[in-house]
Amino acid sequence: MLSLNHRDSMFAENGFRSETFLPGPVEGGVMGWQGTERGDGRDRGRRLGHGGATVGMGAQASDGVVGLVATADNAEALVRSILRARRHGFDVLVTHAGAGELESVAFARQLDVRIVDSDTRGHDVDALHRELSAAARALGYTTVVLQTPACPRIDYEAMVDRRAEGVVEAVPESAAEPAVLVGIPAYDEAATIGSVVESACEYADGVLVVSDGSSDGTARRARQAGATVLEHDRNRGYGAALQTLFAAAADRGADHLVVLDGDGQHAAAEIPSLVETQRETDAEVVVGNRFHDGARGEIPLYRRVGIATINAMTNLSLGAITARERLSDTQSGFRAYDRCAIASLAAADLSDGMDASTDILYHASDRGYTVEEVDTTVTYDVDDANSRHPLRHGLTLVHSVLTTVEQRHPVLSLGVPGVVSVALGIGVGLWALQATAPGGTILYAFVAMAIFLAGILSCFTAIILHALQRSR
């Protein structure tokens, strides 16, 4: 739910201007509007004159305007509709029924939207739309697009052909189109989260941000940009943030969950590419591959070496031997999940740390999911792109892969080396018995015994782990 805890500070911090249109007869029956400057303490009355002439009013940014109806329940959808309308070249008017200011109206003011005050009581949407149309005409707009209170995503491509019709009802995007939800795990990403959310809103039906114990205003800025924010009371880790996203996406019935980072490295414009690949291939998981031929030169050398090592270990642990089976980028955070994967991952036991990315691949492998890759681009020259120490991060991933290999393939990882050690111990022991040097026999005997016992221990461990694995 959007919060107004910081409303006053946001007005002062950003100098947002709100304008209120007052419909009704004003000086000879002309519709009038008044604007209020918030943030600098000054009030400026503004009113349309006779014949459509304006007095003291700045020029409008567009000849088209989207009219929105604010309600007590549509704050999040209203903010997203405002942002999308502006990106498509439309101005915005917002009205609401009844006295008192709604939370959604307050957020519209913060986004510098003109508010049309209404005398309509109850929820007479037709009456509210008539008032929006009259206000838009009085302000000189030639195209008025009227949106329903539910604020479904408008099909702006369809609206282009109808701009000449004057006042039109918004054409929603196809109801049969699967819902796309973008999820962003974020920890102290206040500097970038706003722009990331705004970009993601353009390509999704909704944006979820998990603020993982952030203390720098990440949650507030994400809300301002139009995201639904879920907050952890402390920093629980990347994997815990992903788990929260999966659970929230499952609750919302999302058909696709696209996860990207909050630091601006991933290009939101590539979200449709991941979703389209998922629809075409029916893959449960689609991974954004950073290591295609066109991008290799842009990736720092230490990253290429480190991730190539992790990729090789992860692919071997997954049993992906052939080139067709192997994944090129096992650690990419830019991924799309379908409804089936969302539901199972919401109930999965993922690591809280960065190794959750690998856990998800093991989870997909265990359930026979299809994992596809699509080429993506990554920007590495963003500020504070990655606060994790690369060596520590790499060691964490290596430890995670080795632990998983031990648990998933105990016979291969422990049994085979154990048998080799036993054989080697016996061989060294026999050779020691034949040695002629007086001191050498004892030394080699100890070495042989150590190798033999290590092999026996490894074999027994492999047998026990294998039995436990089969009993699950």
Topology, domain 180-407: Spore Coat Polysaccharide Biosynthesis Protein SpsA; Chain A (3.90.550)
What whole-number distance in Å separates Cα of residue 337 and Cα of residue 293? Answer: 25
Q: What is the pLDDT of residue 196?
A: 95
What is the number of alpha carbons within 13 Å of residue 154 lying toward its C-beta? 31
Query: Rounded to an integer, what is the distance from CA 251 to the centroid of its chain?
Result: 16
**How is residue 59 annotated by DSSP?**
P
Beta-sheet strand order (sheet of 371-375): 228-232, 206-212, 180-186, 256-259, 335-338, 285-289, 371-375
Q: What is the pLDDT of residue 236?
A: 94
The two beta strands, 285-289 and 335-338, are antiparallel
Helices (H), 139-270: 156-160, 190-201, 218-224, 238-252
- Global pTM reads 0.57
Q: Which two tokens stand for residue 362?
A: 């093991």
List, as own/partner pairs, every contact residues 397-404 make where C-beta atoms lie below 8 angstroms and the sequence separation is at least 24, other chains included: 397/310, 397/331, 397/354, 397/355, 397/358, 398/309, 398/310, 398/313, 399/355, 400/351, 400/355, 400/358, 400/359, 401/310, 401/313, 401/314, 401/317, 401/358, 402/313, 404/317, 404/358, 404/359, 404/362
Report the pLDDT value the prediction gives residue 50, as an integer from 0 to 100.
26
Mean pLDDT, consecutive 10-residue segments, the chain of 472 residues? 38 39 37 35 30 35 84 87 89 85 87 86 82 91 90 82 77 69 95 93 92 93 91 93 94 92 92 95 93 61 71 72 77 93 92 84 90 88 53 55 56 59 67 56 65 67 53 48
Give yes or no for a contact between 203 and 214, defined as CB atoms under 8 angstroms apart.
no
- Residue 47: predicted pLDDT: 28
Structure confidence at residue 10 (pLDDT): 37
In the prediction, which pLDDT does 28 show?
A: 31
pLDDT score of 257: 97
Residue 295: predicted pLDDT: 53
DSSP-derived pairing of the beta strands 167-169 and 335-338: unpaired
* Amino acid letter, 428: V
Q: What is d(CA 53, CA 138) in angstroms, rounded to the nearest whole number?
A: 9
Q: How far apart are CA 208 and CA 289, in angstroms?
A: 23
Radius of gyration of the chain (CA): 30
Tokens of 170: 């918004």
Sequence-ordered list of residues with C-beta below 8 angstroms from that of 385, at least 6 positions apart, any chain: 263, 264, 265, 379
The pLDDT value recorded for residue 2 is 40
Q: Classify domain 7-169 at the CATH class level.
A: alpha beta
Residue 84 pairs in a beta bridge with none
Helices (H) and strands (E) in the chain, counts: 16, 17
**CA distances to 75, 176, 262, 309 from 252, in Å:** 17, 16, 21, 37
